[in-house]
């Protein structure tokens, strides 16, 4: 018995934050029904590359769900959805504030017909405040929060993050946590609630150290200067002789001393507090003397918190992740299979059955009472 078996989720969201949140719920046993626009459906279906009839991005994020295609602006749309809305446990949407209210699908209207509904609204800047209706994407949220200003390249310009931190860490993850908390609270009260998940707000959790440095000590961090933004030789990236990179994070003294011995760092640079910039240059010179393969062999079995920067393809083949079964799930479409997207749902709670993703409108019979409601 999966922990969310019997929970029905109506997912009005598109692209990444909401669909990833409902994927986690589906993996734990919830029935997730996507509500999509007729004709095109979720915008993510049209992305490249394809996996089956739709994009692989859509396939990865919507595994194991169902799909209903309905025009929410059409006359009678609300009446057609009413039987599903009355029996839903969770609503997930990520329209701009006010859009669902204008469609007759806001929390006030839905809680009147279904007091137990847990209504999760995911937006960039939240349901209130001066920026609430501002159009933006992940890069804008990380810029607004100050996070982007801490990541700079060699020329001092901020570098776009490799991960969609706001969409995932600020949107999908907090949405799931709060949905589960709301469902737990409902067990005692019988009533649901509205959840205001603002991706930009939730980025400040990731900046705990920067906030602490600035608020408590008056040392607001800057790119290339703080402990974890490139200002220390103990937390940095260094180029190898064959133009690959070492990720070195020997922060604690015991790791730093072992690292210095391993790379034969000159004694005058081991007290890195005296001149961190000089120590960084000295470490870089030493790392540049060997290839990535030579350093990998040298690091093997050593407690020094160092490794080689891998490509995504190398990471998928990494013996550790393979041994852990990280990519053990399967996604099927069009006669092909690929590993399913790994999600942070513990193995005892996940479905082990291979699953595909829904064709647009494949569950429309639910609207007409021709399938189990």
Reported as a pLDDT band with limits 50, 70 and 90, residue 225 is confident
3 phi and psi, to 5 degrees? -65, -25
Backbone angles phi, psi at 306, to 5 degrees: -135, 145
Contacts 24+ apart (CB under 8 A), 204-209: 204/145, 205/169, 206/147, 206/165, 206/169, 207/145, 207/146, 207/147, 207/150
Examine the domain organization and report whether 125 and 15 are in the same domain: yes
Model confidence over 18-66: pLDDT tens digits?
999 999 999 999 999 999 999 999 999 999 999 999 999 999 999 999 9
- Judge if 254 and 351 occupy the same domain: no
Q: What is the pLDDT of residue 155?
A: 80
Residues with active-site annotation? 137, 167
Q: Which domain holds residue 343?
A: 8-205+326-368
DSSP assignment letter at 364: G
Residue 355 — pLDDT band, cuts 50, 70, 90?
Answer: confident
Structure confidence at residue 109 (pLDDT): 97
Verify that 358 and 293 share a domain, yes or no.
no
User: Do 148 and 84 reside in the same domain of the chain?
Assistant: yes
- Same domain for 181 and 269, yes or no, is no
Identify whether 180 is part of a domain.
Answer: yes
User: Which of 83-97, 311-325, 329-343 bottoms out in mean pLDDT, i.e. has the lowest?
Assistant: 329-343
Is there a single domain that holds both residue 199 and residue 301? no
Window from 108-117, 150-159, 241-250 with minimum mean pLDDT: 150-159
Q: What is the pLDDT of residue 280?
A: 97
**3-state SS class at 149:** helix
Confidence grade of residue 370 (pLDDT, cut at 50, 70, 90): low
Question: Is there a single domain that holds both residue 20 and residue 52?
Answer: yes
Looking at the fold, whether 253 and 279 belong to one and the same domain comes out as yes
One domain, residues 55 and 193? yes
Mean pLDDT, residues 306-317: 97
**In this structure, are 259 and 341 located in the same domain?**
no
Quote the pLDDT of residue 153. Answer: 77
- Work out how many domains the chain is built from and give that number: 2
What's the mean pLDDT in 63-85? 96
Rounded to an integer, the average pLDDT of 70-99 is 97
Mean pLDDT, rounded, for 56-82: 96
Q: Is the pLDDT of residue 369 over 80?
A: no
Q: What is the predicted pLDDT for the residue at 372?
A: 56
What does the mean pLDDT of the chain come to?
Answer: 95
User: How many Cβ atoms from other residues are within 10 Å of residue 180's Cβ?
Assistant: 18
**120 and 45 share one domain:** yes
């Amino acid at each position: 018995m999966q922990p969310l078996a019997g929970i029905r989720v109506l997912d009005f969201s598109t692209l990444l934050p909401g669909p990833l949140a409902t994927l986690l719920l589906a993996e734990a046993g919830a029935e997730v029904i996507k509500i999509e626009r007729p004709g095109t459906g979720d915008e993510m279906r049209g992305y490249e590359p394809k996996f089956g009839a739709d994009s692989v991005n859509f396939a990865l994020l919507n595994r194991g769900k169902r799909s209903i295609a309905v025009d929410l602006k059409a006359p009678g749309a609300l009446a057609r959805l009413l039987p599903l809305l009355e029996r839903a446990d969770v609503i997930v949407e990520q329209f701009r504030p006010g859009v669902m209210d204008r469609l007759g699908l806001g929390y006030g209207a839905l809680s009147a017909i279904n007091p137990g509904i847990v209504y999760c609204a995911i937006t960039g800047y939240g349901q209130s405040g001066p920026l609430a209706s501002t159009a933006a994407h992940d890069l804008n949220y990380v810029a607004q929060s100050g996070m982007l200003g801490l990541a700079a390249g060699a020329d001092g310009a901020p570098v776009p993050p490799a991960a969609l931190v706001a969409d995932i860490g600020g949107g999908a993850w907090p949405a799931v946590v709060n949905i589960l908390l709301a469902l737990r609270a409902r067990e005692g009260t019988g009533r649901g609630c509205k959840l205001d998940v603002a991706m930009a707000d939730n980025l400040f959790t990731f900046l705990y150290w920067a906030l602490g440095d600035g608020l408590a000590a008056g040392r607001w961090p800057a790119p290339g200067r703080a402990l974890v933004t490139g200002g220390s030789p103990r937390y940095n990236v260094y180029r190898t002789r064959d133009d690959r990179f070492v990720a070195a994070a020997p922060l604690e003294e015991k790791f730093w001393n072992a690292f210095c011995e391993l790379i034969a760092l000159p004694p005058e640079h081991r007290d890195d507090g005296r001149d961190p910039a000089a120590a960084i240059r000295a470490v870089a010179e030493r790392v540049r003397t060997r290839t990535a393969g030579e350093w990998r062999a040298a690091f093997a079995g050593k407690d020094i918190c160092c490794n080689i920067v891998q490509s995504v393809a190398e990471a998928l083949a990494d013996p550790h992740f393979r041994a852990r079964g990280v990519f053990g799930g399967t996604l099927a479409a069009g006669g092909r299979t690929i590993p399913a997207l790994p999600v942070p749902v513990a193995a005892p709670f996940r479905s082990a059955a291979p699953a595909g993703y829904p064709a647009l409108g494949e569950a429309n019979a639910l609207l007409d009472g021709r399938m189990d409601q």
